Amino acid sequence: MDAGFGRILDQDTDNLFLQQEGIEASAKRGLTLGNYQEIRIRHFEQAVDRYVAMPPLRPGR
């Protein structure tokens, strides 16, 4: 891996603290998602939730 990659990860980690502070400081509950990529993420998470909630399949059915 490139040596500069560690600096990128450090920057991302440092940003997480500021993002969390901003979320906690907001008067609005919840997050506002963007129009395309983040809606796709929400749909994916909802699909995973539905899949996990399904009853297990029995062998031979």
If one counts every other C-beta atom within 10 angstroms of the C-beta of residue 52, the result is 7
**How far is Cα 46 from Cα 36, in angstroms, rounded to an integer?**
16
The more confident residue out of 33 and 28 is: 28
**How confident is the model over 34-53, as pLDDT tens digits?**
777 788 888 999 999 999 99
Identify the pLDDT of residue 44. Answer: 93
Query: For residue 61, is pLDDT > 70?
Result: no
In the 3-class helix/strand/coil scheme, how is the chain assigned residue by residue? CCCCHHHHHHHHHHHHHHHHHHHHHCCCCCCCCCCCHHHHHHHHHHHHHHHHHCCCCCCCC
Confidence of residue 19 (pLDDT cuts 50, 70, 90): confident
pTM of the model: 0.40
